[in-house]
Amino acid sequence: MAKFECCMCLTFLQEIHHCTQSEPQRDQLEHCLDMENFFVEKTHYTFSHLHSLQHRASALAYDTMSLPQVWWTDTKTWQTMLYRGEEVRFADLCNVFQEVEAKLVQVWEQDIRVGYDKMADDLVNKDVGYSFLSYLRNPQLTH
């Protein structure tokens, strides 16, 4: 509907230019004002009704939930799916979490090199944003 409405507007524009060429004594604005009722809203012409329907269709489209981005291709065991067109296996997702955890443990134990026995935590602190990483009694974690 939006494309058809745009096509109608372009047709009116072409007609205004055609009228200006056939009647050069009148300018484009005068020809536009002559046809104005045909391509504005809130009149009893086709364009106005189409424009009103376009508004309703847009409102419905924006209120409607979009299609899912995940499609299960294996509906018996639920082990494979399509995510944005790419096949994903559930076992692969588990591997991702395992690899991320292994990397975090490696960074924590080897790169940071902090002894667990020297860390302190304020377990009663309920402030928003509190973390033992920024706790003042853990100066070794400042980096």
Does 111 have pLDDT greater than 70?
yes
In the prediction, which pLDDT does 142 show? 63
Q: pTM here?
A: 0.38
* Structure tokens that stand for 78 in this block: 């639920």
Does 143 have pLDDT greater than 60?
no
Does 112 have pLDDT greater than 80?
no
In the prediction, which pLDDT does 101 show? 94
Phi/psi for 82 (5° steps) reads -110, 125
In the prediction, which pLDDT does 105 show? 87
* Structure tokens that stand for 26 in this block: 């009148």
How does pLDDT run across 41-97, given as a tens digit for each residue? 788 888 888 888 888 888 888 888 777 778 889 889 989 999 888 899 988 888 999
In the chain, the amino acid numbered 95 is N
Beta-carbon count within 10 A of 49 CB: 12
Query: How does residue 99 score in pLDDT terms, banded at 50, 70 and 90?
Result: very high
